[in-house]
Amino acid sequence: GAGVSQTPSNKVTEKGKYVELRCDPISGHTALYWYRQSLGQGPEFLIYFQGTGAADDSGLPNDRFFAVRPEGSVSTLKIQRTERGDSAVYLCASSQGLAGGSNEQFFGPGTRLTVL
Amino acid sequence: SQQGEEDPQALSIQEGENATMNCSYKTSINNLQWYRQNSGRGLVHLILIRSNEREKHSGRLRVTLDTSKKSSSLLITASRAADTASYFCATRGSNYKLTFGKGTLLTVNP
């Protein structure tokens, strides 16, 4: 079916607020990734899910960031007590995640988060 | 942290010319991938080259990989205005994580 979708496409919030960003991966893709892209930079890895579990969360900048994928499909990235430095485009990607596969990651259009 | 470094940071050419972008990286890799991004969103996968490959072609794209120098190049032949975008190299190590460079902004003038 469709590619990776992300909602909302834009989110403006105030410093200190809580936000949730949603990612719908390609159907059947077991691997899901979150990246963050600041202006003028390449995407930076945040977290990787294989199925329901976070296989690698080493890119999360601090404990204000948390992500879940309870049923192994849709994922939500949650940011508590947002700071102005959290402003960026948050990208989600999915792949088949097969061992030995090409691991081509298909990216969504991103959510542009602006913290005022 | 960024693994790859693209060079140049920005490139402006005329339609029909070839564009060459380079990428250097620091650690050993499983494969290296090139992506295109328009208007700061929508990363599109272009081509993947494995660590045991030296050259790969896809349409107007040619990618080379030199693991001894930890570098790769992307050549776009006969460029078109629609090729205007940012181009990123991304490396994959032993896990599934991709590590991106800062990108090259390519402008193709009609």
- Around Cβ A30, how many Cβ atoms within 10 Å? 16
Of B4, B43, B95, the CB nearest to A56: B95
Tokens standing for A72?
A: 């192994």
Q: What is the pLDDT of residue A43?
A: 94
Residues of chain A above pLDDT 90, percent: 78
- The token pair at A98 is 């097969």
Rg of chain A over all Cα atoms, to the nearest angstrom: 13
* pLDDT beyond 60 at A51: yes
Question: Pairing mode, if any, of strands B19-24 and B71-76?
Answer: antiparallel
Q: Tell me the CA distances in angstroms from A76 to A34, A60, B28, one per residue in order.
A: 10, 14, 32
Residue A110 has pLDDT above 90, yes or no: yes
Strand A10-13 and strand A111-115: the pairing is parallel
Contact assignment for B96 to A110 by CB distance below 8 Å? no
Asked whether the predicted pLDDT for residue A97 surpasses 70, the reply is no
Query: Which phi and psi (to 5°) does residue A17 adopt?
Result: -80, 165
Is the pLDDT reported for residue A18 higher than 80?
Answer: yes
Confidence at A11, pLDDT banded by 50, 70, 90: very high
Q: Hey, is the C-beta of B60 within 8 angstroms of any chain A C-beta?
A: no
Give the pLDDT score at B51: 94
pLDDT in tens, A20-50: 999 999 998 999 999 999 998 999 999 999 9
Rounded Cα–Cα distance for residues A23 and A94 (Å): 9
- Smallest Cβ–Cβ distance between B97 and the set A41, A45, A110 belongs to A45
Residue A105, pLDDT score = 87
d(CA A97, CA A103): 6
Residues of chain B with pLDDT under 50: 1
Residue B5, pLDDT score: 78
Res A1: pLDDT? 52
Q: Which amino acid is present at A36?
A: R
